[in-house]
Amino acid sequence: VASCKFVKNQPVLKFKEFSNINEVEIYKRKGLFVTRNQAVPLEKDEYFIADLIGLSVIREDNGEVLGELTDVLQTGANDVYEVKMEDGKEVLLPAIRECIKNVDLQKGEITVHVMKGLLDE
């Protein structure tokens, strides 16, 4: 992959080996496997989804474990983190700065601010 840009929330890739769009048309909407060392460099506060899955989700207000991040849903506006709570219920947390306070891959934790109305409390 020579470069990657997003158009209407869809990735558009340019490959080193192809110089003409017609040569790659047969690969349109196909899956693509990219190793980490071939991936586009991440910006600050960007993470690979695979690194987020399985992290413990910790509440900022009381330090308690809310649950485990089980999926990342990619919506048009922002990603949404699916968290399986300790009681087995699922909660969806918007991956926005107001909600996601810290991601610590070394500790295996995400610290979150639970916004009013997200939990049945």
Question: Was domain 49-112 assigned CATH 3.90.1150.10?
Answer: no
CA 94/CA 91 separation, integer angstroms? 10
pTM of the complete model? 0.74
Cβ atoms of residues 17 and 29 within 8 Å: no
Q: How much is the pLDDT for 40?
A: 77
Q: How much is the pLDDT for 115?
A: 85
Parts of the chain belonging to CATH 2.30.30.240: 49-112
Q: What is the pLDDT along the chain (121 residues), one digit of tens a residue?
A: 788 788 877 778 888 888 888 988 888 888 888 888 878 788 888 899 999 999 999 999 999 999 999 999 988 789 999 999 989 999 999 999 999 999 999 999 999 999 887 786 6
